[in-house]
A and B are shown apart, each in its own frame.
Chain A
């Protein structure tokens, strides 16, 4: 018991320093009136950054703070929408890719390596690359679609409110499907071959094998992969920041927090938003693990 603690202590200390301390600081700032231009002096203001009642000079009372800000709620909704759609699509595509890569065929090693490329490119680089490809006037996507006569006029992918979110989703799915595929593939390879053999001898049809054998057996791996992706998707920032900065249609919670933290003189409100994001994520993770009975230690 004691030796276990001895081995764990360094890691706990490092985690406390790089994750715990900043987190506590952020939560603390959310309850103060900290400003970036005068970082040293701050006062405790309680829950004012979350909700407060403001009296205008005209005598009218208005609600202020994070929970009274429609932009925040729009950001929450955007983030949820983004997370649900992107994780769903990535899981389905990732599963398909993993099943293909699990089959043995010639050149499998090469294909496995190649499929990881989108995941290996830094997000900023791939986002910028897609921004050019999606450009309405000189973008290659519009050019291809026009030549194939699939569209009659150039589409302004990142500018049009109807397609902005779709553009962000498309790039994210392109980028993270390989990651999903990799995690699911690892799960697939843990499935013992003799089960398939038994199924084949019994003459079970392949679709039934997938639903009755493969899926239940890779479920733990799948659940872990989904939560990894969902946590990541909930914090989405870089892709949106490069593709559609400041667009209300795609503003996520992280973008909202960043805007208030640095661009506006509202460091405290930004900290409150970050704290809210953290609380939402923590609740979501706990619920998910409890309801899904996910064992992160990898057991069944």
Chain B
């Protein structure tokens, strides 16, 4: 009897031991704010549960910088990286070199927002599991707006006027370093996101429409960029033309900006211990433009998890992706890094609502968010985006008028499109 128990125990141990074969995995991600730290905490849990080891390979936070490196690694069939954190716009460009997750995620994919799952599906193949989604907010200083009896702006014109007034009065009162509005004006993908919002909110289309037609050269888009140009050195520091997310958060979180356009991650950081604006700010959806078809527009962002086709441990890597994309992990990310979950049910979650009130409020915003034209332009998206941000950056820095730059952009996009995207 005893012997049989012992044998059974031995057999069980062998089987379980066999399952717990430990793999060494690597996950690569661009690190913004607390991303890496929160990811590490999640990975520690995964390591404890599975016995696998996971190493984080950190990258710069600029999505443009990350993409070049990833593309190179994947083309070289690099097996050092198992899991990639991918931007929402990359799926069509990297699909060939990522594992098809359709079967593995069959039972969990339905919990996510269908539109996000669709954005990561290329030719019927799910190439990445959504990790968190993103839609920017207008951060404003509640204390300063109250002091001058202002409401959060509903239009860009209101924002310009309010920012100017508060900035001037506060500077006169001694806050010499205060600026009205900071955003992401560096020549990189983030500027495409910002400028798309200005254009779309003024009814100026979305650069390339879903049917593939090039719509950017229109009077509303010109008007939107001309307004943005007036911000530089007026309500926005001239250096904003070199700012990415973290630089603008730097100005904001030290209490030197009235308004900031940024993603929800800045919400939890702004309320952290050493923040100068802790408890003094709130968020609203971005302002609308004026004219036909004007509305508030937020660019759809978000990050997903994909498994490299060249991974040596594809099963363990898929398990890791499944773990990180799960309800529990997304809840942890939501509470600790104010990342918007992609699982629908989490927007009803009381713990998240208590910890990060922005999240339940943001469901509507990202459901109405504008996608960048990565779907119609396919593998040429990066070039389209680069040409767009270059035209915008030139306009903002005063090299040529918005009308001239957008007319030139239309010509070069037409050339790039050739006989089709």
Contacts and interface: CB of A to CB of B under 8 A. Distances in A.
Interface of A: 35-39, 54, 56-57, 62, 64, 135-138, 154-156, 158-161, 244-248, 258-259, 262-266
B247 interface: yes
B241 A160 contact: yes
Q: For chain B, which range describes its interface: under 10, 10 to 19, 20 to 34, or 35 or more residues?
A: 35 or more
Contacts, number: 110
Interface of A is mostly: loop
B264 interface: no
A43 B302 CA distance: 36
B172 interface: no
B347 interface: no
B251 interface: yes
B132 interface: no
B71 A248 contact: no
A37 B237 contact: no
Given A244-B242, A246-B187, A159 B72 contact: no
A263 B386 contact: yes
Contacts of A62: 415
Interface of B: 62, 64-65, 67-69, 71-72, 74-75, 93-94, 96-97, 177, 185-188, 237-243, 247, 250-251, 254, 256, 379-380, 382-383, 386, 389-390, 393-394, 397-399, 414-415, 418-419
27 contacts: A35-B379, A36-B72, A36-B75, A37-B75, A39-B75, A56-B415, A56-B418, A136-B238, A137-B237, A137-B239, A137-B251, A154-B239, A156-B239, A158-B242, A159-B186, A159-B238, A160-B238, A161-B398, A245-B188, A246-B386, A247-B393, A259-B386, A263-B67, A263-B68, A264-B382, A264-B383, A265-B380
Contacts of A156: 237-242
Contacts of B94: 37
Interface of B is mostly: helix
A259 B313 CA distance: 31
Contact of A258 (B68, B93, B242, B382): B68
A137 B397 CA distance: 18
Nearest to A63: B415
A68 to B, nearest CB: 9
Given A136-B242, A246-B389, A37 B187 contact: no
A62 B411 CA distance: 10
Given A160-B238, A247-B393, A56 B64 contact: no
A248 B415 CA distance: 20
A247 to B, nearest CB: 5
